[in-house]
A = this chain, B = another copy of it.
């Protein structure tokens, strides 16, 4: 009898019994939205803290002109000691942002670098190789402040400008930044085009080279492939996934388009299979409802529109009767 566990073992891996989900709603989820107030963000993070999540990507230190929704990054960081049990991190795209982040007092930085020149230019005004140079300096800066510097590879699968990204290109960037001291790595499916075969390819092009490096996935569900990509990654032992409550992060210029993989959908999926997340589904629903109220629009997650299977109340789905299959 083939099970997910035995499939993973046949592949030389161990199916995780627990997964560590990082909540990215406050940063990736909100960055393109109308700015929430500092008070609303505090309320949102407070609601997220009640879900049991252990890691939160809380903001970014980038141009406030480009991303006005996160222009309050410094002020928000001053509030983070309210939640001492949560590991917060903030995204930076350049040296100036890294300095501002450290000055604000946050010590876990995520340096985002695009794997493709087209996106690197659009996102950071640099080539990939210039971004690698900047990354070396940022890692050094963070380490001199006794901080942690994660590297996030954007457009790790496809670039909206340059097309498909070769795994070797990603591996080359990673190798330079690992040598420079990167503490952890996240591979991002920026435009939601990854499929399970490519997830396997990319992860296997990188993870075996750095067995001690934590490698996570940042998936968007734009084309309804994110959960299948999670499954593929689980089968080769990946345990770190980004997700945003309510599937926040859709593009406001494409109403209804899915954003990040939704935290509650991922939690439901994993917990149902006996893979623990430490995250409470009811509390996640409350955090989602809160932010949906702030944004004044419905959420993108599946579970915002139905009940989870775990503990679902029977006889509440009568609409499914009458030839329903």
Contacts and interface: CB of A to CB of B under 8 A. Distances in A.
Contact of A193 (B1, B197, B309): B309
A323 B224 contact: no
Given A223-B309, A224-B301, A200 B325 contact: no
A306 B254 contact: yes
A4 B298 contact: no
Contacts of A325: 28, 91, 112, 152, 154, 188, 190, 218
Interface centre among A66, A272, A306, A324 (most CB of B within 10 A): A324
B322 A67 contact: yes
A86 to B, nearest CB: 21
Interface residues of A, number: 93
Interface in A63-103: 63, 66-67, 91, 93
A195 B272 CA distance: 7
A41 to B, nearest CB: 17
A144 interface: no
A314 B200 contact: no
Contacts of A162: 314
A29 to B, nearest CB: 12
Given A190-B325, A315-B161, A323-B66, A302 B228 contact: no
19 contacts: A2-B12, A7-B7, A10-B11, A31-B323, A91-B323, A119-B321, A122-B318, A122-B321, A154-B324, A160-B314, A160-B320, A163-B314, A188-B325, A223-B265, A224-B269, A225-B265, A227-B228, A251-B319, A251-B320
Interface of A: 1-4, 6-7, 10-12, 28, 31-32, 60, 62-63, 66-67, 91, 93, 112, 118-119, 122-123, 152, 154, 158-163, 188, 190-193, 195-197, 200-201, 204, 218, 221-228, 230-232, 235-236, 251-258, 262, 265, 268-269, 272-274, 298, 301-303, 305-306, 308-309, 312, 314-325
